Amino acid sequence: MNIPLPEDLEHRLQPHLSQLCQRALEAIALEAYTNRLMSAAEVQALLQLPSHLATDAFLKQHGAIHSLTLEDVQQDIQTLDRVLHDRSL
26-35 pLDDT per residue, tens: 999 999 999 9
Per residue in 53-79, pLDDT (tens digit) is 999 999 999 999 777 778 878 888 998
- Residue 57 neighbours by CB distance under 10 Å: 12
pTM exceeding 0.85: no
- What's 62's DSSP letter? T
Domains of the chain by residue range: 7-88
Residue 18 CA: distances (Å) to CA of 3, 24, 25, 71: 14, 10, 11, 32
